[in-house]
Amino acid sequence: VGQTVGMIGGGQLARMTHQAAIALDIKLRVLAAAPADSAAQVTPDAAVGSVDSYEDLAAFAESCDVLTFDHEVIDPAFLAKLHEHGHVLHPAPHANLLAQDKLEQRRRLAAAGLPVPAHRPVEEPADAVAFGEAHGWPLVLKAVRGGYDGRGVWVVDDPDDARRVVHAARADGTRLLAEAHVALDREVAVLVARSPGGAALAYPLIETVQRDGMLHELVVPARVPAPTASAAVALGLAIAEEIDATGVMAAELFVSGGEVSVNELALRPHNSGHWTIEGATTSQFDNHLRAVLGWELGPTTMVAPAAATANIIGPADGSDPRAALPGVSGLEGARVHLYGKQPRPGRKLGHVTVLGEDTEQALERARAVVARVTGDKET
């Protein structure tokens, strides 16, 4: 009893994990980059340090029984060293690597016979051009490590475009991979909670909508034919087993011509799972904590026929959504979550979740609440 879970990173995922920790009386400590970070504002005894410093990581690890992540881009050598020193990490370093290195991830999944888009490493412009000649244009160039919210993804239309992107990436030391541009019917995400003993549960399939490369809205259950949904969920569970994921894992999947393939993996709670706070019997944050502590997992069933989540993005005029909240009451069951971030145009500041009878209606209501909170009259 009374174990301390240490979460590396102090963003909104750690902040929402803390909300779950409070109810279960689990002590959660975060390692944040600054006291103003989303989770550092609200968790007791937050450690402030850099994930680029092994000393900071090691000192933090000493104060925790189990380590897990809000932020996964951490030098794999540091993680291996923490593991060697006897610290318990969930996910383990070998699994974490797959979440932070898109090339390793594709190699590993392809080797296991799991579907991934055609891809190759790009060392020089000619590699990208050759890939385009073989697989057709446009193609997608991606940063192997460190990309998020679409930063690090470039769709290129022709050889000149490809050369330009490769040169620019080489100039700032970014490693690239090339992959086929997939004609998307939809994007979906499978959220799986898996414990160290191997027990795993998947949530109902989530449909995600990205805007400018960033997850913008989601609805559950995903609007795909039942066989596609079961194939996607089975794929998510197969991946979690294959890579020995522990804690919550999200697999972002492409659906194209009814077939599913893997876009990328996250080995931590994921923004596609925020709806589970209100919409599932056990939220992704509850199950992440339960899994990393080796507790029995909670049921992943929905508590309503449909759920939708829409992001609160910082409005162009720089206004603060908190200013609108006092006037936005009786939201027909909509739940607003703000992350404690300084408003900036285009910045992800929070989200709104609505449960309902069907996905369209829930999404419409979530959008309407976002519009009121951001002062945007257009809905």
131 or 285: CB nearest ligand ADP: 131
* DSSP calls for 257-313: TTEEEEEEEESS--GGGTTHHHHBSS-HHHHHHHHHTTPPPPP--BSSSEEEEEEEE
Query: Binding segment for ligand ADP among 149-157, 158-166, 167-175, 333-341 (CB under 6 A)?
Result: 149-157
For 150, the token pair is 């679409």
Beta bridge partners of 202: 192
Residue closer to ligand ADP by CB (options 60, 339) is 339
User: Segment near Mg ion (CB under 5 A), from 42-50, 81-89, 161-169, 246-254?
Assistant: 246-254
Is residue 267 packed enough to be buried (19+ CB in 10 Å), middle (13-18) or exposed (0-12)?
buried
57 versus 143: smaller Cβ distance to Mg ion: 143
Say whether residue 182 binds ligand ADP (CB under 6 A). Answer: yes
Q: How many residues bind Mg ion (CB under 5 A)?
A: 1
Q: How far apart are CA 29 and CA 46, in angstroms?
A: 6
The residues in 250-309 that bind Mg ion, with binding defined as CB under 5 A, are: 252
- Residue 46 or 222 having the CB closest to ligand ADP: 222
Q: In whole angstroms, give the CA distance from residue 354 to residue 305.
A: 11
- Supply angle C-alpha 268, 348, 306, rounded to 5: 65
Nearer to ligand ADP, 147 or 159 (CB): 147
> Strand, coil or helix: what is 113?
coil
Give me the amino acid identity at 106: R
Residue with tokens 């318990």: 88
Site for ligand ADP in 254-283 (CB under 6 A): 263-264
Cβ 89 to Mg ion shortest distance, Å: 23
Nearest-approach distance from CB 102 to ligand ADP, in angstroms: 7
Q: How many residues bind ligand ADP (CB under 6 A)?
A: 19
Q: What are the DSSP calls for 15-84, one per residue?
A: HHHHHHHHHHT-EEEEEESSTTSTTTTTSTT-EE--TT-HHHHHHHHHT-SEEEES-----HHHHHHHHH
Interface segment toward Mg ion; rule CB under 5 A; list 19-27, 65-73, 249-257, 299-307: 249-257
Binding partner of 140, given ligand ADP, Mg ion, none, CB within 5-8 angstroms per partner class: ligand ADP
Q: Which is nearer to ligand ADP, 183 or 226 (CB)?
A: 183
210 contact, one of ligand ADP, Mg ion, none, CB 5-8 Å limit per kind: ligand ADP
Binding of ligand ADP by 252 (CB under 6 A): yes
Near ligand ADP by CB under 6 A: residue from 75, 149, 185, 244 = 149
Per-residue b or e along 221-252, where b marks 16 or more CB atoms closer than 10 Å to that residue's CB: bbebeeebbebbbebbbbbbebbebbbbbbbb
The reply to whether 150 sits near ligand ADP by the rule CB under 6 A is yes
Q: Three-state SS for 359?
A: helix
With respect to ligand ADP, which residue has the nearer C-beta, 33 or 182?
A: 182
93 near ligand ADP, rule: CB under 6 A: no
C-alpha span between 379 and 375 (Å, rounded): 10
**Which partner in Mg ion, ligand ADP, none is near 148 (CB below 5 to 8 A by kind)?**
ligand ADP
151 versus 164: smaller Cβ distance to Mg ion: 151
Residue 372 has phi, psi (to 5 degrees) of: -70, -40
CA distances from 347 to 18, 210, 272 (A): 22, 14, 17
- Determine if 138 is a binding residue for ligand ADP (CB under 6 A): no
DSSP conformation class of 182: P
Q: What are the residues binding Mg ion (CB under 5 A)?
A: 252
Query: Which residues contact ligand ADP (rule: CB under 6 A)?
Result: 117, 140, 142, 147-150, 152-153, 179, 181-182, 184, 187, 210, 213, 252, 263-264
